[in-house]
């Protein structure tokens, strides 16, 4: 992959919101262990003992090699806050100019509401490993929902581990809706 300098689009999300989303995903994915509690899942997430390994390692590894690829780093929060600007950014990155009509159609189809109702995007047709009676793939899509799930102690624990693992790492972050 490194010899041809391919285009890579890396979408990051606030790790606290991602953790909450991943916790709920585990509750209806038949092939993943169902967590006993949010607190247990938090500990596993912070230690990298979840399926697909550590968020911290993953984002640091990809971002540290960004200069080896034609690399676009974008956050979920950016896309939620200004989907139109995000679509333009991505289309420019891949070298595809969009007319206003096409841009409008793409933006409309990519809203969380429309993706949630689109069977091609919401995974409702995948029934062999997802139990849709226990949850949905596209649940809320909001920014900052972690605040409704974390206790003060859990937030402090997360922040401590985040600071330890991400210190000295120049990660551009837009994690909140008002940033």
Domain layout of the chain by residue ranges: 7-125+132-167
Q: Which pTM was predicted?
A: 0.79
For 7-125+132-167, CATH gives 3.40.50.300
Nearest-angstrom CA–CA distance, 25 and 82: 26
What is the sign of the dihedral through the CA atoms of 90, 95, 100 and 106? negative
| DSSP per-residue string spanning 18-69 | HHHHHHHHHHHBTTSPPPS-HHHHHHHHHHT-STT--HHHHHHHHHHTGGGS
* Tens-level pLDDT at each residue, the chain (179 residues): 556 778 889 888 899 988 888 777 657 554 556 667 888 989 988 998 776 778 888 888 888 888 888 889 899 899 989 999 999 999 999 999 999 999 999 888 887 686 666 666 555 655 555 555 555 555 667 788 899 889 999 999 999 999 898 888 876 666 655 54
């Amino acid at each position: 992959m490194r010899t041809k300098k391919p285009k890579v689009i890396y979408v990051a999300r606030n790790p606290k919101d991602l953790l909450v989303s991943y916790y709920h995903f585990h509750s209806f994915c038949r092939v993943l262990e169902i967590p006993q509690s949010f607190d247990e899942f938090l500990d596993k997430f912070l230690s990298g003992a979840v399926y697909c390994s550590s968020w911290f390692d993953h984002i640091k590894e990809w971002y540290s090699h960004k200069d080896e690829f034609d690399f676009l780093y974008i956050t979920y929060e950016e896309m939620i806050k200004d989907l139109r600007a995000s679509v333009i950014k991505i289309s420019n990155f891949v070298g595809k100019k969009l007319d206003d009509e096409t841009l409008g159609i793409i933006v409309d189809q990519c809203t969380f509401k429309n993706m949630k109702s689109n069977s091609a995007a919401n995974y409702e047709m995948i029934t062999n490993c997802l139990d849709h009676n226990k949850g949905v793939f596209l649940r809320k899509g909001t920014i900052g929902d972690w605040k409704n799930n974390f206790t003060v102690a859990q937030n402090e624990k997360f922040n401590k581990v985040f600071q330890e693992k991400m210190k000295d790492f120049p990660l551009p972050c837009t994690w909140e809706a008002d940033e």
